[in-house]
């Protein structure tokens, strides 16, 4: 069969989370990236205000990471980790375990944040069965939560558009209320003062379902994809206390808050709250090769292993689990984080970032600004009858003016690479101010 090569056609690629018709009518293309910038086909530099998609924490084209991937591809392009192994998978797991909170040191590899979320939910269910409590099957998510796009993740997730077209979801799922309370907490710097009581909704779910049926609660320490929803002071600690009280596992989805985004290795460290399972992806290897992971407590791992009556203790995994290139990239990324002190750098830059973002309080259309670490959310007043349109116009105009931002609903979400300089923080903020002044 003859084939026609159409190098400039945009039709074949069905793009993710994108208005395909609008994009293909007016595409925004990038062909190269380096440091803090993307580059367009005409050579124009675009400052990356979102670390790609929350994921390029060390900045683009880090030489050490690039060289590690090239070397790995030449030495071992692929090896399965089913009944075989290769050294970098074990070495990287050990290095990840060293970053985790105490005893959260058993690592399951995945290929994305979506797979990490579903894997963590399956581990939670397997653990409850292994300890002789198969009746603990319910999974509790949270409104406005995002845990990827696989069926488990969208079931416990709380974003309606991600769920509404795909049927009845996974059974036995319920949701906590979200913590976004703009009436009491607008323009808070850091963690809001009001809202710890939202965690007590878990008591109502326990009263409704009984704790004997609830396996796990999964939350993002900071809800990113729903628009940078920072947890109220004491909220996560209270949730931990209630999960412990009712013998429920607590899962932290740290796909966004992991690897220095808050100025600490993980959100668990920043908030001083230890989960039972922790998911990661995105910045795990600076997003250079698809990869994710789940860190499980030693108790969960050992219970599942000990209870097995078959040689394979946990029937789960992926063809690409612990891929040699992904592991090589991950090891090099951890070296870059260490050598360039990027976690500490994010911590030191956070106050400047906070002041710069909150200078937009007086900008046109802005109804809230929120921040934590090197994360920022700027909420815009929606246009009457046209939700999301003002934010989308802001996104397009910022790109035209050389700054790449992310929008979700009418919220601008910012999460720059941890290598950002103060002058580049200023560029992001002043570009936003000018664009917001110019649009209706």
Confidence label for 5 from pLDDT (cuts 50, 70 and 90): low
Sheet holding 249-253, edge to edge: 106-110, 292-296, 277-280, 249-253, 214-219, 138-142, 173-176
Task: Assign domain 66-339 to its CATH architecture.
Answer: 3-Layer(aba) Sandwich (3.40)
pLDDT digits 0-9 by tens, 287-335: 999 999 999 999 999 999 999 999 999 999 999 999 999 999 999 999 9
Cα atoms found within 13 Å of the Cα of residue 391, Cβ hemisphere only: 22
End-to-end alpha-carbon separation of the chain, Å? 52
- Cα(10)–Cα(4) distance, integer angstroms: 14
Burial class, 162, CB count within 10 angstroms (exposed 0-12 / middle 13-18 / buried 19+)? middle
pLDDT digits 0-9 by tens, 326-371: 999 999 999 999 999 999 999 999 999 999 999 999 999 999 999 9
Asked if 46 contacts 40 with a C-beta cutoff of 8 angstroms, the reply is yes
pLDDT digits 0-9 by tens, 75-126: 999 999 999 999 999 999 999 999 999 889 999 999 999 999 999 999 999 9
Radius of gyration of the chain measured on its C-alpha atoms: 22
Burial class, 382, CB count within 10 angstroms (exposed 0-12 / middle 13-18 / buried 19+)? middle
Which are the contacts of 83, defined by CB distance < 8 A and separation ≥ 6?
A: none
- Confidence (pTM): 0.97
CATH among 3.90.550.10, 2.30.42.10, 3.90.1150.10, 3.40.718.10 for 20-58+341-438? 3.90.1150.10
Q: What is the pLDDT of residue 103?
A: 87
pLDDT digits 0-9 by tens, 187-241: 999 999 999 999 999 999 999 999 999 999 999 999 999 999 999 999 999 999 9
By DSSP bridging, strand 406-408 and strand 411-414 are: antiparallel
Is the confidence at residue 4, as pLDDT, over 70?
no
For 265-273, what is the mean pLDDT? 98
Which are the contacts of 169, defined by CB distance < 8 A and separation ≥ 6?
A: 151, 154, 155, 163
- Cα(387)–Cα(238) distance, integer angstroms: 34
- Cα(282)–Cα(284) distance, integer angstroms: 6
- Cα(357)–Cα(50) distance, integer angstroms: 14
**Structural domain boundaries in the chain:** 20-58+341-438, 66-339
Binning the chain into helix, strand and coil, the percentages to the nearest 5 are: 40, 15, 40
pLDDT digits 0-9 by tens, 164-200: 999 999 999 999 999 999 999 999 999 999 999 999 9
Q: Residue 134 corresponds to which tokens in the numbers above?
A: 């198969």
Residues pairing with 33 in the sheet: 38
């Amino acid at each position: 069969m003859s084939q026609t090569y159409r190098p400039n056609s945009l039709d074949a690629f069905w793009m993710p989370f994108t208005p395909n018709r609008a994009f293909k009518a007016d595409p925004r293309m990038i062909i190269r990236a380096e440091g803090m910038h993307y580059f367009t086909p005409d050579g124009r530099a675009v400052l990356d205000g979102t670390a790609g998609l929350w994921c390029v924490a060390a900045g683009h084209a880090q030489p050490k990471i690039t060289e590690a991937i090239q070397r790995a591809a030449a030495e071992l392009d692929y090896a399965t980790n089913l009944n075989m192994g290769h050294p970098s998978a074990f070495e990287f797991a050990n290095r990840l375990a060293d970053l985790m909170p105490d005893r959260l040191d058993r690592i399951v590899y995945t290929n994305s944040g979506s797979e990490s979320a579903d894997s963590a939910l399956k581990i939670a269910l397997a653990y409850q069965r292994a300890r002789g409590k198969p009746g603990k099957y319910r999974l509790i998510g949270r409104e406005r939560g995002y845990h990827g796009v696989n069926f488990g993740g969208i079931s416990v997730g709380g974003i309606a558009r991600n769920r509404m077209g795909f049927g009845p979801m996974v059974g036995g799922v319920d949701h906590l209320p979200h913590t976004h309370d703009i009436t009491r907490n607008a323009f808070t710097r850091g963690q809001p003062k009001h809202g710890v009581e939202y965690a007590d909704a878990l008591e109502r779910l326990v009263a409704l379902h009984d704790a004997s049926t609830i396996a796990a609660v999964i939350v993002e320490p900071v809800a990113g994809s729903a628009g940078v929803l920072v947890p109220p002071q004491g909220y996560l600690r209270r949730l931990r206390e209630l999960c412990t009280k009712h013998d429920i596992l607590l899962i932290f989805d740290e796909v966004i808050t992991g690897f220095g985004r808050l100025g600490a290795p993980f959100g668990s460290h920043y908030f001083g709250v230890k989960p039972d399972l922790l998911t990661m992806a995105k910045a795990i290897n600076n997003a250079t090769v698809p990869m994710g992971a789940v860190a499980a407590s030693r108790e969960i791992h050992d219970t599942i292993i000990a209870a097995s009556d078959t040689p394979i203790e946990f029937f789960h995994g992926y063809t690409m689990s612990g891929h040699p290139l992904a592991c090589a990239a991950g090891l090099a990324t951890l070296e870059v984080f260490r050598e360039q002190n990027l976690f500490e750098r994010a911590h030191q830059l956070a106050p400047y970032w906070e002041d710069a973002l909150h200078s937009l309080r007086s900008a046109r259309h802005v109804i809230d600004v929120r921040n934590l670490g090197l994360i920022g959310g700027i909420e815009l007043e929606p246009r009457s009858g046209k939700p999301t349109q003002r934010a989308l116009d802001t996104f397009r105009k910022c790109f035209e003016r050389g700054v790449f931002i992310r929008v979700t609903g009418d919220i601008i979400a910012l999460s720059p690479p941890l290598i950002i300089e103060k002058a580049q923080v200023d560029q992001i903020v002043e570009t936003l101010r000018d664009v917001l002044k110019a649009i209706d």
